[in-house]
Structure 1
Amino acid sequence: MLKTKVFEMIKQAMRDKDQLTKSVLTIVKSNLDLAEKEKGEALTEAEEIAIINREMKQVNQSLDGAKQAGRDDLIEQEEAKLRLLEQFLPEQLSEEEVKEALAEAGVTSGMNMGDAMKIARPLLAGKADGKTIASVVKQLIR
């Protein structure tokens, strides 16, 4: 389970006195614990990946803000957080692989964007980020 791996990495970060890793992973573990408590049972792999993706989205937003503010120190820190979180995600598909998967799933020209995304999201959850999925869907439904 992902939670066990995160906990082991927190312990290692504490031994290494790596504050950044410890703080990021503590937040991830807290979110995993909270989601598990709310659900009342162990999380599925897809649910764990969704939590990691949510964290990555927040870090990306912080990164964008740091870039706009020209804060090089924060940019470096946020990029380090992204690299750390990416370790927990499965291999991300390329845009071409996403296109092939969606074409096989029946996303075709003339479809409504909402209907196409209803097919795409569950199919590619955790395998590609939302921006990539949306842009490929837009290309396919034209």
Structure 2
Amino acid sequence: MLRDELNQSMKAAMRAKETRKLSTVRLILAAIKEKDIELRTTDGGDRDDDAMITDILSKMVKQRRDSIKAYEEGGRCELAEQEKAEIAIIEEFLPKQMSDDEIKAACEAIVEELGAEGLKDIGRCMAAMKDKYAGQMDFAKASKTIKGMLS
């Protein structure tokens, strides 16, 4: 279970005095706890814990990539490097990411499976992609690929 793996990683980082990893794992656990509280108040019902955590991790990586871009444009390279280090740590807990060729093949399979024909079907295709490949690919790339196939 991903939650247990994160807790074990936090303990190992404490023992090894890896401050960057420790702070990043604590950020992840805080985000998970926040999501747990949100789901408790909105009566989230049954949910796949690992899928929820994978979704949180994917969003954290995306936020850091956006921050890196902003920091590099602002000439703050040291902050961009910190964000890159955090991304590397977060990605340790994500499933292996698909290559561009694998993304293209998955997009083709979904388009064929759903019988998508035009741009109006992009939403349906992306929903199916997110259900099937959560945390395994960059959905911005997948969206561009599907848009190219359907236009």
TM range (shorter): 0.7 to 0.9
1:91 equivalenced with 2:96 (yes/no): yes
Amino acid at match of 2:4: T
The percent identity for this pair of structures is: 26
- 116, 125, 128: which one aligns with 2:137: 128
- 8 Å CA contact 2:110, 2:125 repeated in 1: no
Indicate the residue corresponding to 2:14 in structure 1.
14
Indicate the residue corresponding to 1:118 in structure 2.
127
Aligned length: 142
Is there any run of 5+ residues in structure 1 with no aligned partner, and where?
A: none
Instruction: Give me the TM-score of the superposition, normalised by structure 1.
Output: 0.87
1:55-109 superposed Cα distances (whole Å, 9 cap, x missing partner): 1112112111111111221121111111111111111111221221222223545
Indicate the residue corresponding to 1:70 in structure 2.
75
Amino acid at match of 2:106: A
Amino acid at match of 1:128: M
Indicate the residue corresponding to 1:32 in structure 2.
32
Q: Distance in 1 between matches of 2:71 and 2:129?
A: 31
1:109-129 superposed Cα distances (whole Å, 9 cap, x missing partner): 524232332332222221101
1:27-77 superposed Cα distances (whole Å, 9 cap, x missing partner): 101122232344357743211100111111121121111111112211211
1:48 equivalenced with 2:50 (yes/no): no
- 8 Å CA contact 2:3, 2:50 repeated in 1: no
- 8 Å CA contact 1:31, 1:51 repeated in 2: yes
CA RMSD of aligned residues (A): 2.0
Amino acid at match of 2:15: R
Amino acid at match of 1:110: G
Amino acid at match of 1:5: E
Partner of 1:106: helix, strand, or coil? helix
Instruction: Give me the TM-score of the superposition, normalised by structure 2.
Output: 0.82
- 8 Å CA contact 2:51, 2:134 repeated in 1: yes
Q: Distance in 2 between matches of 1:110 and 1:74?
A: 42
Is there any run of 5+ residues in structure 2 with no aligned partner, and where?
A: 41-45
